[in-house]
Amino acid sequence: MTFNKLFEEKIKKAQSNNKPLGKESHARLPSGQTLTEKFPVLDLGITPEVSLNEWTLKIYGEVKHELEFDYESLKSKFDIVEDISDFHCVTHWSKFDLKWKGFRPRDLLKLTNPLEHAKFITFHSYDDYTTNLPLDAILDDDVLLAFEFDDQPLTKEHGGPVRVVVPKRYAWKSAKWIKSIELHNEDRPGFWEERGYHNDADPWLEQRYSK
């Protein structure tokens, strides 16, 4: 299936499943999670010093056109979008209604023209962190390359200047300090996946750890 066909199927599926979600906490809080008003900071203990002016993002691997973007080129080529979503950490806390602003990875991927056999991606970060996902998992409307949180520039503690936000997965899939996106035809476990975390990380299925 080509990338454009995959994208069209993803949109069609999303529209068919577009049912109103109740605002009650129990309807939005996955099993095993506790709601918090704070925004805890979790990382590998390394906080890269990368300014927005120095930041670049490379997309490479199983694509027809490997491309590299900086912040200014993203602003000139793609729509800046705002999205409000919930955030679920594998360490059992969740935070509701986080307001992000950024770019949709799927818009960038269109320009690279992914090859037909490209089915998986790896996020690479400036602190050498990696995490993996199926390609179609980053085509949703709510998946962002976020540079603002709550109407403020994203702080380095929370992954600034630019991080990934993948609300439908546990937060370790939302790589901070994003540096590149690699497309490949086979699945490759990332940093935490190699250390026993579940490969899929669906909070609604409590996919925290591998068995």
For residue 158, the domain's CATH number is 3.90.420.10
CA dist 71 and 53 (Å) reads 7
Residue 170 has pLDDT above 90, yes or no: yes
Residue 29 lies in a domain: no
Residue 34 lies in a domain: no
pLDDT digits (tens, 9 = 90+) for 76-134: 999 999 999 999 999 999 999 999 999 999 999 999 999 999 999 999 999 999 999 99
Residue 12 lies in a domain: no
Residue 48 lies in a domain: no
* Average pLDDT, rounded, for the chain: 91
| Matching residue, tokens 């590149």 | 180
Number of domains in the chain: 1
Residue 38 lies in a domain: no
- Which helix or strand (DSSP H or E) is residue 108 part of? helix 105-112
Residue 10 has pLDDT above 80, yes or no: no
Residue 67 lies in a domain: yes
Residue 200 lies in a domain: yes
How much is the pTM? Answer: 0.88
Residue 47 lies in a domain: no
Structural domain span for residue 86: 55-210
